[in-house]
Chains A and B, each alone.
Chain A
Amino acid sequence: MDSLDNKKDINIEEKTDKKIGNKINKKTVEFSHIYKTFNPGTVNEQDLFTDFNLSLKEDSFNSVVGSNGSGKTTMLNLLCGSIPIDSGDILIDGKNITKMKEHRRSRFIGRVYQDPAMGTCPGLTILENMSLSDNKERKYTLAPGIDKKRVDYFRDELSLLGMGLEDKLQVKVGTLSGGQRQALSLLIATMSPIKLLILDEHTAALDPKSSELVMDLTQRVISEKHITTIMVTHNLKFAVSYGDRLLMMHRGDVVFEASGEDKNNVSIKDLTDRFDEISIEDGNTL
């Protein structure tokens, strides 16, 4: 028994080693010289991003923290194409997608929003939601919308959530709790193969227990499917304990970052201290 287990371990290590060896320099996302001004030419003009640069390594799990208005959501919106960019380039897997429409980018980007209502269709049943998303890679034709052969697969996937949703296939998603909907959103966002998973405070609207549950699930999905992930969170505990890289944003810039060993040594107190520093700086400059 022992020797068998050992063998397995070695094999896995070899595999992961190879993987890291191949991918160590591969970048899934590159922001390059990004500029974004809101309300240009008005009294409300706001230069949010001036020459913003950031890259995310393949298979990395990046947590982003930062005060309100520091530009986290805007960064994600630019990445997804939800809002237009003033200048600069966004590359995914080396390919320039700056001009690509939002719905086109969705074919390789999965996104879970803060609002549990946004990631699913409240008016459709769980089964209909999953069937729709299961078809993402194919055409939406006049074939039956629900493929009976896939129902068992959906049930299996749902049972992994441990929320009993597998028995609620015919229930409208709008009647589920926030935590259930967010778990389902995550499942749906990662059901078809994607290159990048975007989580924008996806646990912020949940009660503490559900948010732990969804965060656990997030970790499981990411490590199973090896998806490059960027997670914005207000929960410093999550930022510290999950992910392999930590970024702190302020006024459209990354003001602090730690990865690997360094990140493991970052404590919540370190982060709050940094926040305090920033707000004092802000006070001084005002």
Chain B
Amino acid sequence: MDIFLNLLSVILREGFIYGIMAIGVYITYKVLDFPDLSVDGTFPLGGCASAALITLGVNPIIACVICFGAGALAGLVTGILHVKLKITDLLSGILVMTALYSVNMLVTSKKAVLSIFNMNTIFNTGLGKLLYDIFGQWGWVIMAAIVCIIVKILVDIYLSTKSGLLLRGAGSNSLFVTSLGRDPGNMKILGLMLGNGLTALSGAVLTQQKESADVSSGTGMVVMALAAVILGEALFGKVSFIRATTTAVLGMMIYRTGLTVAMQMGLDTIYLKALMSGLFIIALLVGRENKKRQNNSVLRSRL
């Protein structure tokens, strides 16, 4: 029972933290219809930058905000490569992801792992500390949930503003945005900034919880986040009162559950990434089946 509760708390905690990234990828992949691979670079960027900033003594909350900004900057580059320099969406993402590997090494001063044991994080100071003192490891779950829910609410609010509507319009029919006298390319860039900002924030929060950042922690993040978004939509998309941002987080929870169960059943970690790809393919197929049933004509043939 203890083991079970322990596992549950890990799944929930990580589900909420990676869920922030899922919300970001929901924006790029679902709202903008942009398969953004730079996520594999912006996730560790957030983690590394957050560890580096905390080492420098920066307040952990401010570190989170800066990491969001750093991710947004990376998204800006992806956007400019695609929109202004007309490089394909997939390639733009790969270029930024690759370049970010160097950036991340610079950020960690060439260390593959940067640990911040016993330094201040949002989990061991202020509210995080209070929650931990009362609830133990469930305090971390609550803290992760708070950050994730704040992000979700802010994103929901943004998507209902004029600017947010225009962003959704750009993803749905960029010609329509043009007809409104606005440049759909700029909206794409804005969405990529938002998506990558949230991804970096997710990496930053994870690093603060684990108290260490890993330069190579980005591998497979795109696959994981996309799977979560697709899975969430396939399973909960039809429930009208659940918003898409929520389904992305729920999708992540289910995905993490699958991974954790597999590991508990004794799967060697070297098979982890293969399993992630496998889960993604299943999610994609489930999503496609669902779409067919809704007789939606446009299939995402690109992924």
Residue among B173, B178, B296 making CB contact with A106, cutoff 8 Å: B178
Of A41-49, A114-122, A214-222, the stretch lying at the interface with chain B is: A114-122
**In the complex, which of the residues A110, A132, A189 has the most CB atoms of chain B within 10 Å of its own CB atom?**
A132
B173 touches A122 (CB 8 A): yes
- Once A141-B163, A142-B163 are accepted as A-B contacts, the answer to whether A103 and B173 lie under 8 Å apart by CB is no
A119 touches B179 (CB 8 A): yes
Closest Cβ–Cβ distance, residue A118 to chain B (whole Å)? 5
Of B94-102, B154-162, B280-288, the stretch lying at the interface with chain A is: B154-162
B169 touches A121 (CB 8 A): yes
- Once A106-B179, A133-B180 are accepted as A-B contacts, the answer to whether A121 and B163 lie under 8 Å apart by CB is no
Closest Cβ–Cβ distance, residue B253 to chain A (whole Å)? 25
- Once A103-B183, A106-B178, A119-B179 are accepted as A-B contacts, the answer to whether A145 and B173 lie under 8 Å apart by CB is no
Question: What mask results when residues 160 to 179 of chain B are scored 1 for a CB within 8 Å of chain A, else 0?
Answer: 11111110110111011111
A153 in the interface, Cβ–Cβ < 8 Å?
Answer: no
Query: Within the assembled complex, what's the spacing in Å between the Cα atoms of A111 and B176?
Result: 10
A144 touches B160 (CB 8 A): yes
Of A54-62, A123-131, A264-272, the stretch lying at the interface with chain B is: A123-131
Query: Within the assembled complex, what's the spacing in Å between the Cα atoms of A150 and B165?
Result: 16
Closest Cβ–Cβ distance, residue B126 to chain A (whole Å)? 28
Query: Within the assembled complex, what's the spacing in Å between the Cα atoms of A146 and B163?
Result: 11
A145 proximity list for chain B (CB < 8 A): 160-165
A135 proximity list for chain B (CB < 8 A): 162, 180
Closest Cβ–Cβ distance, residue A87 to chain B (whole Å)? 24
B165 touches A131 (CB 8 A): yes
Q: How many A-B residue pairs have CB under 8 A?
A: 85
A141 proximity list for chain B (CB < 8 A): 161-163
B173 touches A117 (CB 8 A): yes
Residue among A103, A129, A140, A146 making CB contact with B178, cutoff 8 Å: A103
Chain B interface residue count, CB cutoff 8 Å, equals 24
B266 in the interface, Cβ–Cβ < 8 Å?
Answer: no
A132 touches B163 (CB 8 A): no
A104 proximity list for chain B (CB < 8 A): 181
A124 touches B161 (CB 8 A): no
B181 touches A103 (CB 8 A): yes
Closest Cβ–Cβ distance, residue B153 to chain A (whole Å)? 14
Chain B's closest residue to A82 (CB) is B178
A244 in the interface, Cβ–Cβ < 8 Å?
Answer: no
A124 proximity list for chain B (CB < 8 A): 165, 168-169, 172
A102 touches B180 (CB 8 A): no
A107 in the interface, Cβ–Cβ < 8 Å?
Answer: yes
B182 in the interface, Cβ–Cβ < 8 Å?
Answer: yes
A136 in the interface, Cβ–Cβ < 8 Å?
Answer: yes
Closest Cβ–Cβ distance, residue A169 to chain B (whole Å)? 14
Closest Cβ–Cβ distance, residue A185 to chain B (whole Å)? 9
A4 in the interface, Cβ–Cβ < 8 Å?
Answer: no
Query: Within the assembled complex, what's the spacing in Å between the Cα atoms of A60 and B181?
Result: 24
A143 in the interface, Cβ–Cβ < 8 Å?
Answer: yes
- Once A106-B180, A111-B179, A121-B168 are accepted as A-B contacts, the answer to whether A140 and B173 lie under 8 Å apart by CB is no
Question: What mask results when residues 134 to 166 of chain B are scored 1 for a CB within 8 Å of chain A, else 0?
Answer: 000000000000000000000000101111111
A123 touches B171 (CB 8 A): yes
Query: Within the assembled complex, what's the spacing in Å between the Cα atoms of A39 and B160?
Result: 43
Tell me the A69-121 residues at the B interface (CB within 8 Å). Answer: 101-104, 106-107, 110-111, 113, 117-121
A140 proximity list for chain B (CB < 8 A): 162-163, 165-166, 182
A132 touches B164 (CB 8 A): no
Residue among B158, B175, B181 making CB contact with A136, cutoff 8 Å: B181
A132 touches B169 (CB 8 A): yes
Closest Cβ–Cβ distance, residue B156 to chain A (whole Å)? 12
Closest Cβ–Cβ distance, residue A124 to chain B (whole Å)? 6
B164 proximity list for chain A (CB < 8 A): 145
Closest Cβ–Cβ distance, residue A181 to chain B (whole Å)? 11
B184 proximity list for chain A (CB < 8 A): 103
Query: Within the assembled complex, what's the spacing in Å between the Cα atoms of A154 and B203?
Result: 44
Tell me the A160-191 residues at the B interface (CB within 8 Å). Answer: 174, 189
Query: Within the assembled complex, what's the spacing in Å between the Cα atoms of A157 and B133?
Result: 60
**In the complex, which of the residues A106, A143, A145 has the most CB atoms of chain B within 10 Å of its own CB atom?**
A145
- Sample 9 A-B pairs with CB under 8 A, ordered by A number: A103-B178, A103-B183, A121-B168, A121-B169, A124-B165, A128-B168, A140-B165, A145-B160, A189-B179
Apart from the given pairs A140-B166, A146-B160, A189-B179, 19 other A-B contacts in the complex at a CB distance below 8 Å: A101-B183, A103-B177, A103-B181, A103-B183, A106-B178, A107-B181, A113-B175, A118-B173, A120-B176, A121-B173, A121-B176, A122-B172, A124-B169, A124-B172, A132-B166, A132-B169, A144-B162, A145-B163, A145-B165
5 closest A-B pairs (Cβ-Cβ)?
A123-B172, A145-B165, A107-B181, A121-B172, A140-B162
